[in-house]
Every structure is written in C-alpha cells, then in structure tokens.
Amino acid sequence: MAIKSFHPPQRILMGPGPSDVSPRVLEAMSRPTLGHLDPVFVNMMDEMKELLKYAFQTKNDLTMPVSAPGSAGMETCFVNLVEPGDKVIICQNGVFGGRMKENVERCGGVAVMVQDDWGRAVDPQKLEDALKANPDTKVVAFVHAETSTGALSDAKTLVALAHKHNCLTIVDAVTSLAGVALKVDEWEIDAIYSGTQKCLSCTPGLSPVSFSARAVEKIKNRKSKVQSWFMDLNLVMGYWGGATKRAYHHTAPINSLYGLHESLVILQEETLEKSWARHMKNHLALRAGLEAMGLKFVVPESERLPQLNAISVPEGVDEAAVRNILLSDYQLEIGAGLGAMAGKVWRIGLMGHASNPRNVLVCLGALDDALSRIKAPIKRGVAVEAARIKLA
C-alpha cells in the first residue's frame, strides 16, 4: 500500500485543548530550522524567556519551556521539588489533582489528599485544616484551572496559606495561563507549569514553567538525585541559563519553539489584560446563548473558568451522538467529560485564538441544530440572538 501525504481537515477546535493555532504561529513554525546551539537561536531563547516572564507576570530567572507537553511540565515540577519521604498536600477537585498524586508517589513522597467536589473550586479552609493536621508538609500542590470541570480556584489565597505553614507550592496553570488573571510574583507561587496548546494558541508539545528563588534553592540543595535525567533542572539550567554560552543538554524542538515565540509575541501585542477581558467577554456571550437554550453550567458562576465551559448533558441525550453531529456536519470539536464526569458533561473551550465571536455563534447554532435533530428538551432558535446581544 502506497501511503500518501497526510492532509488534515480544517476543524474548529472548541474542546478542552488543543485550541485553534493562530495562522501566524503556523507560519512561524514553517521557517528554516536552525541548530539548537546556533547563536541566532540562542538569542531567540533569551527573548522567549522574557516573553514567558511577561505571560507569567514574574521576574524568575528560571522561566522556560520544557521540551514536552504540559504533563511533562507537571512532572518537572514534582521530580525536582519532591524527595523520597516528603509529605505533599494535594488539593483535588478533578482529574488532574489525581495525576499530581501519581507524581508524588512515583517520587517516593507521601501524598495527603484534600478532596473537593468535582465542579467546585478548592476550599481554602480544607487546605488550612490539612496543613494544621500535617505540620511536616513540605509542598502544597493544586490545579488553578481544572480542565476536567471548568472550575477556577483562588490561587492567591491557597499559596498564602501554604507559605503561612512554610510549604513550597506547585501550581497547575495549563488552562489558566493567558486566559484568566495569573500573577506568579504577586501571589508568590514557587513552581508553576502550563501548556502551549490552550490559551497561547500554539501547537501542543511544550510546557512553560517558572520557579521562584525559593524553589531553585530547594532544587540545588537536594539530598538525593532527581529521578529523571531529562527533567533534572540542575542539568537543564545549563541549557536555558542566562549566559550566552549554553551547555548541550538535549536537541530542542526548534520549529515548535519558533511557534511559541510567535504566540507570545501575539500575546504581548494584545496585552495580558486584554486577553483576559476577551476570554471573559466571549464566555459571557456563550453563557447567554446556552442558558437561553435551557442548558446548565456545572460550575457555580463565582468559581467558573471562562475559557473552559462544562455544560450538563440534558437527561436522555446521547452526548456522544451530539458531538459526532458537530464534528461531521460542522467540523466543530467540543469535548466529552473525563473521569467522574464522563458521559455527563460537554466541555466547550474558548481558548486563545479560538476565543472569538464567530466561534461563539457557530457553536451555538450548531448545538441548536444538533440537539433539535435528536429532539432534546431545549428552546430552539434563541441561543444565537442571546449571544449577539452580549457581543454587541
């Protein structure tokens, strides 16, 4: 069989990620490949560090993209900051808190779980109670924006509680970076990781991370070797360090980094504040349309993430059939539920380049049609107009 070149269809990506990649980013990725130690590429690396510092709102020297997706950013934080026997409190309110637990245990640490209902923000009081009950805790970890549920937690308050009890903090910002307010230095976050495929509108495969001076001190003074050679920041710092001379560590994904650089330039041009406001405006329009249709959000409004909307599937509706109609007839992708929410919710993303008025209206019109076809209990023909009013 002669296999031919792959030409993917053009989709509208409104699931939990990846999001639509900006045409500027796609063009940047097609530029000529350089060597990963080429002085011109090294200069671009320095620019990218500054752009990432802006995105994270930090002055941390150790701010860089890990050459792997957000899950590797997570693992980079845990393997460098957790040693065998360390107690780590993990606040879980969705799927990704569970992955944090797995990381802690694989590092030889002891995970203490603080559980909240899926679809709710992390409860600061529960964290404080756990910290008092476990005074030997070394690290507190939580998800800022839980992708599996669309819940947004109060990172500033949770970090302050951790520091009050002399703990370092690890924060998952995979879905929050560039979509909602996130201020690493002001909130004194110690270690944070994100992904390029969400609100940065870049291709998947890179994970921006940032570590405070407190976290770097911990990494440099570990009693044991970091269990992962590839993610050992004591080694990686030599490649992403501030000096112009770089120590070879690995072959960086050159063209993907071109794309991230361009996506961060786009963010800088728009400004963080305008990006946050755009995500909220489009969320409010989507919300107006969905609620006019009769659909309900899973997360209470005060704890809701604007760029990832978890919607309850109406009783008796085959959620997969609806997604299939959207994909086949409208080239539109939305997400299914994960874990405890599988089969119960749709996850509609409005992230980065995909967070725009056109996508809001297309999604609402397509949902109206798909749900009407299967005779779901909705109000027909009102969603798009309700959203238009909010977008005016």
Copy the structure tokens of residue 67. 């050459």
Under the banding of pLDDT at 50, 70 and 90, the label for residue 246 is: confident
pLDDT (average), residues 45-59: 97
Q: Is the pLDDT assigned to residue 90 strictly greater than 90?
A: yes
Which regions of the chain carry the CATH code 3.40.640.10? 23-269
More confident residue, 37 or 159: 159
Helix (H) or strand (E) holding 141: strand 137-143
Which regions of the chain carry the CATH code 3.90.1150.10? 271-391
In the prediction, which pLDDT does 327 show?
A: 98
- Per-residue buried b or exposed e for 349-363, using 16+ beta carbons within 10 Å of the residue's own CB: bbbbbbbebebbbbb
Under the banding of pLDDT at 50, 70 and 90, the label for residue 248 is: confident
Under the banding of pLDDT at 50, 70 and 90, the label for residue 245 is: low
Which residue type sits at 265? V
Question: pTM (2 decimals)?
Answer: 0.96
Given 3.20.10.10, 2.40.110.10, 3.10.520.10, 3.40.640.10, which CATH number is that of 23-269?
3.40.640.10
Copy the structure tokens of residue 330. 């409208």
Q: Is the pLDDT assigned to residue 244 strictly greater than 90?
A: no
Residue 111: strand, helix, or coil: strand
**In Å, how far are 144, 172, 314 from 180, measured between CA atoms?**
10, 13, 29
* Residues 178, 179, 183, 187, CA torsion sign: negative
Place of tokens 């238009």: 388
In the prediction, which pLDDT does 37 show?
A: 86
In the prediction, which pLDDT does 242 show?
A: 56
Long-range contacts formed by 216-220: CB under 8 A, 24+ apart: 216/61, 216/62, 218/81, 218/168, 219/80, 219/81
Cβ contacts of 313 within 8 Å, gap of 6 or more: 319, 322, 343, 344, 345, 346
Tens digits of residue pLDDT in 168-222: 999 999 999 999 999 999 999 999 999 999 999 999 999 999 999 999 999 999 9
In the prediction, which pLDDT does 72 show?
A: 96
Tens digits of residue pLDDT in 371-389: 999 999 999 999 999 999 9
In the prediction, which pLDDT does 1 show?
A: 87
Assigned fold of 271-391: Aspartate Aminotransferase, domain 1 (3.90.1150)
